[in-house]
Structure 1
Amino acid sequence: MAPVMVLLAFGMAITSLAGPLALGLMEYRTSPTTLNQLLGSDAATLFVIAPLALVTALLARRGHAAAPLLASGIGAFAVYTYAQLVIGQEYLRIAGNVERFFPLLLVVFVLAEAAFVLGWRSTSVLPPVSRRVERAAAYTLLALAVFLVFGQHMMPIVTAWTDPSALTEYASSPTPFWLVKLMDLGIVVPVAVVTGLGLLRGRPWARRAAVIVLTAYSCLAVSVTSMALVMLANSDPDASAPLALGFAGFALLFLGLTVALYRPLFQLSAVEAGTVGSR
């Protein structure tokens, strides 16, 4: 797991640096609005997610119980992100050269899959957390599902049906528009609902799923918040201050809940380390 996470961290960092955020070697085939979103995603990946992957590699090297869960969460985030990055381009319609970097993006995608599978297989029995934290995580995941359906996606979908030219994001780049709708409403929302209901019903599988899901969603929330801030900074016509605040709020909430769910694992490792040291 440790070498996979190191390679994934460097792969994500190299991809972010190669794009318009830094070196400009990789030119995305997309509209200015979606480009702002990709810039925000690249910034979040470079400064937050890739360093977290390196920390996970260090924890895995030390045999820390939190490493598999972090690896699966980061892997899920990267699969989601780089699938959209590859599929969501307007090939043959907008100028660019992103297809030349497909081997790099493919390697990152495969490493993300490996991180998720290795983490899932290596996860051991989790120490208990308070029922209060579990309920808070459950209600947050259910609230996220409602927010994504009704606060984020429903109105743009209706606009795309009725007056597509009124929505800059859709009129300029319809491919990533529908791809995001498909992945959020077809993956993110159902997983949030199933995991939230599992936690409320006290299902044993739901706790492990919740830690991984909240890790991935924390990474996504940081990334989407970064996208929204870049759009605001660049006066994007589809920028929305309320949505930016909403995503920032979810990011903080997810991070707090994720820390609460991981705390028993770090406490357990500290106790084990102390026991070994006393011997």
Structure 2
Amino acid sequence: MMENILLNDGNKIPAVGFGVFRIPNDGSTYKAVLQALKVGYRHIDTAAAYFNEAEVGKAIADSGIDRKDIFVTSKLWLQDYGYEAAKKGLATSLKKLGLDYIDLYLLHQPYGDVVGAWKALEEGQKNGQIKSIGVSNMTPKIWNNFVPQFKTLPAVNQVEFNPYFQQVELRKVLAPADVKIEAWGPLGQGNSELFAEPLIKQLSEKYHKDAGQIILRFENQLGIIVLPKSTHETRMKSNMELFDFELTNSEMEAMTKLDKGHGSHNPDAPGVESMLLSAFDVHSND
């Protein structure tokens, strides 16, 4: 049975979502989302910059599942920051998804006119186009720079998170306002070193679960919303089967000691903003 997590705005979000980052828009995303919904996922995470919002929307429409039972996340790309541009960007996401509203809409990257874009998201929330609003890739430094200028607190911050990078400082910053972390790359992007950790192997044997399930359960028990990605049906299923066992306090403590304190992506690094701004054009096919 899927667990839900309560957000600081009163909305609920499924604890495990299906991410579609890097799944191509050649029919593969449509097929993967349809399969994910079939095996029981009710939380789909896409973005304008994934170029597959339209296939996500089509799969939702064709799934036969009531719209209100599916939690949909999308994200606004940097090109559409600033108040007016963000309003258009949101309208484009809704149109591509073929939806009347988006359950969670995030600012995908924390650069440029973040404050103007956030204002447009706040407005979108007020007029019912978005249920919950949030940010992504905000470090403590970036958070403290922008969020004090927001009228509304984000409900989530979607960041890199896995046992090797447990975002300890960020969690301290977010906890007082009950801002939830969503993990991208919750399995360390398939890091073989992580999967071979003796502790994870030991827990895997004890609970008769695979390494991925041990990792995701650890994150779930920390209150992290996880977004594992797989196009294989067996893996899709196993990534959801986390709620029939529980790690003990001492096991959780042992897992926290795997933290290396850094990840593969550093949003504070010089040059990241300009690199992302010139990465691609989300309007190339408009």
TM-score by length of structure 1 reads 0.24
- Whichever of the two has the greater Rg, that structure is 1
Larger RCO (CA under 8 A, 6+ residues apart): 1
More helix by share: 1
Higher percent of residues as strand: 2
